[in-house]
Amino acid sequence: MNKGSIKTIISDQRKEKEYALQRERIIDREQRPSWERFTDSPSVKVTMGVRRSGKTVFTHLLLGQRNYGFVNFDDERLAFLDREGLNDLLEGLYEVYGELDYLLLDEIQNVTGWELFVNRLLRRGIRVFVTGSNANLLSRELSTHLTGRFVQMELLPFSFREFLLWRGFEEDETTTKGRAMLKRQLTEYTKIGGFPEVVRAPELRNTYLSNLYSSIIAKDIIARHRIRYVRTFREMAANIISNFSNYITYNKLKNVHGLKSVHTAKNYVDLLTEAYLVFTIDKYSPKPREIVNSPKKVYAIDTGLIDTIALSSTENRGRIIENLAFLELLRWRSLNPSVEIYYWKDYQGHEIDFVIKKGPEVTGLIQVTYVSGMDELEKRELRSLLKGSELLGCKNLILITWDLEGRQTMDGRGIRFVPLWKWLLKAPMEWNHQQPG
């Protein structure tokens, strides 16, 4: 690729960026205030997350009116750019933008040797921003070549609060009508999900999400990692997403899909998590071996994607709202790296969906269930919270429901019942630091 072609691509991308930022409707993201303090630091700022979650627009918002250059490496015209070509790219950036104080490199993991290029930019005093959609690839290279010189965060699709902001929702939640309208919006959110383009045009949901999913599977996983048994991998990926809010074991995946080893099953799951399609959490236990050997619990990146891709019916509302609750906890964790999320289960059949741990302390136990009244509530949900509270030494007990609200004291321990819509309107940190009265 010659220098003239590279300059043309950079110029085209600049025009596309300026057009999009000026003409398209954009909402601010909740994480921006927490990240603004890093904008002018010399460290590399890394925004990671699933494709099309809004990472690029978010980073443009962070940079604001600053003088910065921009390159999108997801452009097919840059597909064959190599390490040597990065120097020509830098020359083209100077020609198009002039003096560079800041530089945004979008989907940089597509170029081999990118981390050495970033190192060179840092030595020149340029403030570098990077986005990427492969967690392992970015983290590995950053840790190896940029130790201590980067900060990173994960950006997920729109939260329920951002979904309401996009829709201009202004109903008063304290009124009967306001609560009813909020629940209506939440029902739509569970079906549509939070990918910005789908929120913008819900009628395109099935087509858009199917194509996005296929692209991630084909380009980011199968092609990048040279998966040999393509059909098996696709079947396993769909199976795992269909198993959202449920348990998986590598041994069972191996047997169901005819894989040669448990290691292959684990590797396939890791590739799905690296692409941010799914997340897994471990069982909480003080014994490291038990954590390793216990089943994982799996969640999908987006409930709209679940509804589009899942092989089985998604009418299990309890599992859907549990997946939503997990994604909200994940947003909180992205701003609080010391927070850890587990599930808990004992040998008597007591289960707790989420154990929140900060440092050595368990700070919250959260159960999720699709109920709207006390008569629908299964006693095992409460018994599990009480048992976990006793064994894990935590009194902060929350039961997330569809529409049941209140408090109940059992065996001297207070349990808060919180409707999902209300819980999603607040940051989980607020709930987690309110001790029951």
Q: Residue 315 has what pLDDT?
A: 64
Spatial separation of the C-alpha atoms in residues 190 and 144, rounded to whole Å:
39
Confidence of residue 298 (pLDDT cuts 50, 70, 90): very high
- What are the φ/ψ torsions at residue 40 (nearest 5 degrees)? -100, 10
Could you give phi then psi for residue 226, rounded to 5 degrees? Answer: 50, 55
Angle at 339 between CA 252 and CA 152, to 5 degrees: 95
Q: Which two three-digit tokens encode residue 138?
A: 């970015």
H/E element, 298? strand 296-300
**Residue appearing with tokens 């020609």:** 95
Q: Sign of the C-alpha dihedral, residues 97, 92, 139, 27?
A: positive
pLDDT confidence tier of residue 288, bands split at 50, 70 and 90: very high
Residue type, 411: D
Does residue 388 have a pLDDT over 80? yes
Q: Are 342 and 355 in contact (CB under 8 A)?
A: yes
The pLDDT score that the predictor gives to residue 427 is 60
| pLDDT attached to residue 149 | 86
The Cα 427–Cα 60 span in angstroms is 24
Average pLDDT in the 300-304 region? Answer: 97
Amino acid at 172: D
C-alpha distances (whole Å) from 252 to each of 222, 235, 247, 260, 291 are 22, 14, 10, 12, 17
Residue-wise pLDDT tens digits, 354-363: 999 999 999 9
Residue 153's pLDDT band (cuts 50, 70, 90) = confident
Q: Answer yes or no: is pLDDT of 89 > 50.
A: yes
How far is the C-alpha of 370 from the C-alpha of 368, rounded, in Å?
7
Is-contact 232 259, C-beta < 8 A? yes
| DSSP-assigned letter for residue 183 | H
What gap in Å lies between CA 36 and CA 21, rounded to an integer? 19
Instruction: Name the 3-class secondary structure at 102.
Output: strand
Instruction: Please report the pLDDT score of residue 147 as a whole number.
Output: 74
60: number of Cβ within 10 Å: 19
What mean pLDDT is predicted for residues 412-428?
A: 90
What is the predicted pLDDT for the residue at 214? 98
In 3D space, the residue among 69, 113, 74, 80 whose CA is nearest the CA of residue 2 turns out to be 80
Residue 415 has pLDDT above 90, yes or no: yes
Q: CA-to-CA distance for 344 and 386, rounded, in angstroms?
A: 12
Does residue 434 surpass a pLDDT of 80?
Answer: no
Say how many residues make up the chain.
437
Of 81, 124, 94, 76, the C-alpha closest to 14 is 94
In sequence order, which residues have a C-beta less than 8 Å from that of residue 266 and are 6 or more positions away? Answer: 250
Mean pLDDT, the chain, whole residue set: 93
pLDDT of residue 82: 84
pLDDT at 437 over 50: no
pLDDT for 16 beyond 90? yes
Are 329 and 347 a contacting pair, CB within 8 Å?
no
Q: Residue 399's closest CA among 422, 349, 365? A: 365
Do 299 and 241 touch, CB atoms closer than 8 A? no
Question: Is pLDDT at 282 greater than 80 in this prediction?
Answer: yes
HEC sequence for 190-256 = HHHCCCHHHHHCHHHHHHHHHHHHHHHHHHHHHHHHCCCCHHHHHHHHHHHHHCCCEEECHHHHHHH
pLDDT confidence tier of residue 1, bands split at 50, 70 and 90: confident
Give per-residue pLDDT as tens, 221-243: 999 999 999 999 999 999 999 99
DSSP E strands, 14-98: 44-48, 68-72
